[in-house]
Structure 1
Amino acid sequence: MKYKEIFKEGKIGNLTLKNRMVMCSLAMGVSDERQCIGEDFLSYLMERAKGGVGLIVLENTRVDDEHGVAAPRQASLAREEQIEPLAKAVEKIHKEGVKLFVQLHHPGRETFSNLNSNEPVWSSSNKACGVCQQETHEMTTAEVEQVIQKFINAAVRAQKAGVDGIELHGAHGYLISQFLSPYTNQRTDRFGGSFENRLQFVKEIIEGIKRECKNTLTLGIRLTVDELLDSNGIKEYLTLKDGVKVCKELEKLGLDFIDVSNGIYESFNSLSEPTTYPQGCRSQRIRAVKEAVNIPVIAVNMVKEPWFAQKMLEEGLVDFVGLGRAVVADPEWVNKAKEGREKEINRCISCTFCFETLVSDTIPGKGPVKCAVNPRAGRELRYQSYVKDGKGRTVVVVGAGVAGLEAARVLAEREFHVIVLEKEGKVGGQINIADKPPHKEKMDWLVDYELVQLKKLGVDIRVNIDADKELISSFKPYGIILATGGVPVKPQIPGMDLENALTFKEVLCEEKRLENVKAAVIGSGATGLETAEYLCNKGNDVTIIEMLDSIGEGVYVQHYLDAMDKLSHYPVTYKDKTKLLEIKKDAVILENVKTKKVEEYSVDYVVMAIGVHSVRDLEGTCKDICSNTIVIGDAKVVGRIEGAVRSGFEAGYFF
């Protein structure tokens, strides 16, 4: 077998797992209104159990309904009524030869008052979370003891449901992590002060679970071993040295495994790495733990591909490889690796849209997390097996960006005869621009996946084709999908027709190669920031000009932090509250939107990065040919990768 280390049996405590792949906890917000495992959640879990993992760790599961709520549809074991639905899930998952652990969780200060009795959020001390920024209550000693008992009670309920083990959530700055860290624990009672006292909270939880569960449950912890706060200017925090020391002490307390992680909300990109981070970016910290303990080590490590999981096991970096976002993107990840079908894996591109929608949708109670490359994730009941009723009828897809490719894939799965027409010489659409900034190569993975699937399904893809009425009509289509995408916006301002006035596409695709010149990037959205980094990397002197009050306004925080960190290594000039009035051959005319002061600013080139507008010129023509015409992707509404993929998926699914 190609990946023989992955598919060796492995032991955690007294449990034997069929392989070394673990589906790690990842909040999805698919519990029912009682925070139980209902049909939606069970369908989500079963696809991944059938997908081949050896162990599933259930999402961060609530132990406290009053002061420990992270999201309205978060799984919970705070009440007796939640035992039976979990027991049903355990039984079904066990039938697939898969073990199930429950991860017990309390968010502490990393949550919101409106979810927690509209009272200040509870923590080890009254230091507010720099991200959530909620008024924070330092728990009394009695309250700490109450929460310890709630962890123990939840573990007992889990045991009654028949789970195989418990993972305590001691990572990412949640409550257990808050007690362990000198950054968030300034208590003066027996739960604070010295290292030993800071360990007391989790120690009493472990001892209580072992006592009440009669030492029969496999018990471990997911642990932040380094809060990575040095770049924030914070001097006292849980460092890797401290984290390793914690691991050693927890081993002495009889834990069966350690699931290594890092970071807290205030170092968020380290716990949910964006696409620019490579596979293996956590290896140094994982190895430090592995070398210090004798119990099994599990870790996620930005693993996206089987060869890297195999490498981690071969090198002895871990005993079990954790998959998080990877199996949200493709529940069949492990099976495909086992069957030698790794090229068919829909690889997670680390776009962090799942975390973005966790914040924008799931925590406010608007719906489950969304995956950019897998529209079915968390919605398996809504989008069940494809109805194969195409009967060989022809559907023409005009445009081979990700929306068009995804529509073609789903239509072909449904047994339509699909013809894709693309005017460029290469499929991918906007991805062929998005992959150009430094470290954005993962963007290509989505197109690679689509092409493998379309070839397997026998889809007819024709490039360098200028689709017109005559050509489209010649196919006598049953339906037409118009996925013609968008083009960069070119504002109507004086000088836009000059040779030194370019779009981000012309620059990133090197239709005009810029090196060692002075360039002004107009717009500081995600595209503008990435274009600026690309130009800096080519040795250019870059100024970013933004009309809004601040640079990066509206950019999702993880992308903003990542981009600004990269740009901090270059001498970039930032001009916010500044409007572009005119482009000249060697300068731009700018106006401060607050003071109305006008200046001439010397530059060699101007790069427009202010957005994209839809291209749908063929809509009328297509509707004349066939009334069954649908417009999708950027051609319908300009958006991001997730919107394009979902638009294409739904067009194919409901066609």
Structure 2
Amino acid sequence: MNYQHMLSKGKVGTLTLNNRIVMPAMSTNLAGPSGEVTDQLIRYYEERAMGGTGLIITEFTSIDYELGRGAVNQLRIDDDRFIPGIKRLANTIHKYGAKIFVQLHHAGRESNSMLTGGKQIVAPSPVTCEVIGEEPRELTIEEIKEIINKFIAGAYRCKMAGIDGVELHGAHGYLINQFLSPNTNLRSDEYGGSFKNRIRFLEEIIVGIKQLCGHDFPVTVRLSVDEFEKGGTDITLSREISVYLEKLGIDGLHASAGNYNTMDKVIESPLVEEGWRVYLAEEIKKEVNIPVITVGNIRDPQFVESILAEGKADFVAIGRGHLADPEWVRKVSDGREKEIRMCISCLHCMYSKGHVECSINVRAGRELEFTEMTQVDEKRPVLIIGGGPGGLEAARVLTIKGYHVILFEKKDTLGGQLNLVTDPVYKKKMKRYVDYLCHEMDRLKVDIRLNHEASVELIKSYEPYAVLLATGGVPLVPNIEGYDLPNVCSYRDIKLQSNAFYDKKIVVLGSGMVCHSTCRRLAEEGNEVTLIELPTKSGRKISPETRVRLLEKLKKENIQIITEHKVSTITMNEIFLEKKESEEKVKMAIDHVVIAMGVQAYNPLGDRLSKEMDNVFIIGDAAGHTSLADATKGGFETAYVLESLVNS
């Protein structure tokens, strides 16, 4: 496909960009403990610049570390001592022809007292954010003026550091957004009340930056065009804001959505359709002549091209897609779209502990640890048993390193449990990842043996340099009386259609993604379904926002949801429950019970093989892990350091 719009040059103010792809701000926690630029942070951004991205916007950068922080290890530009680090970052990005903006940020009421050293958080008005749960102190006029000057000073430091422009974070419920929104700005002075007064805070920041940095220094604003909250900013108000900002001389608008109370609109779950937010940018673009950036759950290059070709936006921001594959742009421009490792929207990056991570790209946030694939001296044979994500990732890395990889998969398809996803929206995203892995096997000419169940004798006959067991997992069976009755089955039986039920009373036990999709599938087939939520490892990995969305979907299917109960006994006609707090006994009439509580390790070869030969390594679910992130990490890391593991 000819991506003439996506790969064409574009302008933001006087600045020319090599293409229309933007990497938007995303928090990484890769800055130092005092907010300074680190080598790891530079390397993280460098790889995205090397990958061909036209414009990189740094993660939100604090202009007031005392009261405006939004995260631990947040990047800073509130003091001159941070200029050298920002300059090193700018110089690194510029080597590859990319441009870089710094996103200037103050959290306002969306900070918390842990980040402010115990000091009360601040806001335009003392309106508490439900998610934060701390009442903010109303800013005085003098403090407002000080914060305005801090934004201006931050922008000037960026210019001194060689940064190409700045983005003012006026979205997601942060301080600028709080001044703009009638919901959070209840002031009756010059900074509140009328539209003109509510926008004054942002106006004085913009005017101050332009006066100090010059009108040729680009300034863009990120807006929550719709906060999806009653009384907050909406499309009508944002149209008015956008027109006003253009008259002030800003150089572009970045059309986002939501705030902390509506976080599912800020960071979308895997159940959201691709590009659902594009219409927000389209509405703003109708009102202004300056460039408009669209953002939100955009993955596919053809979709990106259509957005630009149809004039719905001038630039497209791809956030998590850049975590999954830093070379997204380069692969498109080289005609290698099938090699793109597309984001699956799993939200692992949002809820990983410590620095940013990606469930399908182990190197994200760890680029300095894995700098190059060291080639081995001779083409040694390595056997991989299992064609799930862990085994396939190991096969990919080992082949790149020069090993002769033979992968045995007992079924007729690759992908393992990834193929069990049935939700239509999520399945499409997961299929892209499975297709990527399969394409990599073809591209790298990995020796794949489908419909081959490996035995110890077969493995030994190859005299391999090493063996990686990635045999996966089997459905976890809880220790509940009656679990082995004929009216009890696992989620896998439903997914693979081994069991088909119609017009039955079915209870599903579990809490993870697979559990929820199983419930919906059974309901869609005409069954009366009840979900009894039981704690599982996979359930704990679901973000609060995704869980809410999942439960909403279940309710739309008239699925009953029971929480805070434990299951004591299953019979052929009933299931017996106990309330956790009162221990009150409850019983329900049933036809069938479906257990969807995740997986347990399946490793039939490990013990014997380890006794009979050296260099046997277990990865993925077979090693007791339960997530895609763990499986990918195990496969990548084991393959990356295999020589060291063998020689240790």
TM-score by length of 1: 0.94
Judged with a 3 Å threshold, the aligned counterparts in structure 2 of structure 1 residues 313 and 546 are, in CA distance, closer, same or farther, namely: closer
Over residues 339-379 of structure 1, what are the superposed CA-to-partner deviations in whole Å (9 max), with x where a residue is unaligned?
A: 1100000000011111112xxx3xxxxx3111111110111
Q: Cα distance, 1:174 vs. partner?
A: 0.8
Structure 1 distance, partners of 2:623, 2:578, is: 34
From 286, 290, 293, give the equivalent of 2:288. 293
Q: Cα distance, 1:88 vs. partner?
A: 2.2
Q: Cα distance, 1:448 vs. partner?
A: 1.6
SS of 2:108's partner is: coil
Larger mean Cα displacement after TM superposition, 96-105 or 528-537: 528-537
Structure 1 distance, partners of 2:157, 2:425, is: 49
Tell me the residue number matched to 2:301: 306
Over residues 27-82 of structure 1, what are the superposed CA-to-partner deviations in whole Å (9 max), with x where a residue is unaligned?
A: 11112334232211111111111111111111111111111112232221111111
Structure 2 distance, partners of 1:438, 1:285, is: 21
Q: Cα distance, 1:554 vs. partner?
A: 7.0
Structure 1 distance, partners of 2:32, 2:568, is: 53
Provide structure 1 residue ranges, at least 5 long, that are not aligned to the other structure: 230-234, 362-366
SS of 2:25's partner is: coil
Contact 2:148–2:204, Cα closer than 8 Å, also in 1: yes
Over residues 502-543 of structure 1, what are the superposed CA-to-partner deviations in whole Å (9 max), with x where a residue is unaligned?
A: 111111222212333221011234432332223223332111
Structure 1 distance, partners of 2:626, 2:239, is: 44
From 410, 416, 423, give the equivalent of 2:397. 410
SS of 1:269's partner is: helix
Contact 2:278–2:294, Cα closer than 8 Å, also in 1: no
From 325, 330, 333, give the equivalent of 1:335. 330
Read off the aligned partner of 2:451 and give its amino acid letter: N
Read off the aligned partner of 1:182 and give its amino acid letter: P
Larger mean Cα displacement after TM superposition, 343-352 or 276-285: 276-285
Structure 2 distance, partners of 1:587, 1:623, is: 45
Judged with a 3 Å threshold, the aligned counterparts in structure 2 of structure 1 residues 633 and 6 are, in CA distance, closer, same or farther, namely: same
SS of 2:30's partner is: coil
Q: Cα distance, 1:243 vs. partner?
A: 1.2
Tell me the residue number matched to 1:487: 474
Over residues 195-254 of structure 1, what are the superposed CA-to-partner deviations in whole Å (9 max), with x where a residue is unaligned?
A: 21111110111011111112231111111110012xxxxx32211111111111111111
Contact 1:502–1:607, Cα closer than 8 Å, also in 2: yes
Read off the aligned partner of 1:184 and give its amino acid letter: T
Q: Cα distance, 1:110 vs. partner?
A: 1.4
Tell me the residue number matched to 1:260: 255
Tell me the residue number matched to 1:133: 133
Over residues 239-281 of structure 1, what are the superposed CA-to-partner deviations in whole Å (9 max), with x where a residue is unaligned?
A: 1111111111111111110011011111111111111111220
Judged with a 3 Å threshold, the aligned counterparts in structure 2 of structure 1 residues 603 and 115 are, in CA distance, closer, same or farther, namely: same
Tell me the residue number matched to 1:26: 26
Tell me the residue number matched to 1:202: 202
From 207, 219, 243, give the equivalent of 1:248. 243
Q: Cα distance, 1:548 vs. partner?
A: 6.5
Structure 2 distance, partners of 1:71, 1:491, is: 39
Tell me the residue number matched to 1:191: 191
Judged with a 3 Å threshold, the aligned counterparts in structure 2 of structure 1 residues 493 and 117 are, in CA distance, closer, same or farther, namely: closer
Larger mean Cα displacement after TM superposition, 491-500 or 282-291: 491-500
Structure 2 distance, partners of 1:84, 1:122, is: 30
Matching of residue 90 in structure 1 with residue 90 in structure 2: yes
Tell me the residue number matched to 1:364: none
Q: Cα distance, 1:2 vs. partner?
A: 1.3
TM-score by length of 2: 0.95
Q: Cα distance, 1:422 vs. partner?
A: 1.3
Tell me the residue number matched to 2:57: 57
SS of 2:226's partner is: coil
Contact 1:480–1:622, Cα closer than 8 Å, also in 2: no
Structure 2 distance, partners of 1:92, 1:489, is: 49
Contact 2:507–2:530, Cα closer than 8 Å, also in 1: yes
Structure 2 distance, partners of 1:553, 1:398, is: 29
Read off the aligned partner of 1:59 and give its amino acid letter: E
Tell me the residue number matched to 1:499: 486
From 314, 317, 321, give the equivalent of 1:326. 321
Read off the aligned partner of 2:581 and give its amino acid letter: K
Structure 1 distance, partners of 2:104, 2:399, is: 43
Tell me the residue number matched to 2:151: 151
RMSD: 1.9
Q: Cα distance, 1:176 vs. partner?
A: 0.6
How does 1:359-378 map onto structure 2 within 5 Å?
361=353, 367-378=354-365
Tell me the residue number matched to 1:609: 596
Tell me the residue number matched to 1:348: 343
SS of 1:225's partner is: strand
Judged with a 3 Å threshold, the aligned counterparts in structure 2 of structure 1 residues 195 and 428 are, in CA distance, closer, same or farther, namely: same
Tell me the residue number matched to 2:427: 440
Read off the aligned partner of 1:332 and give its amino acid letter: E
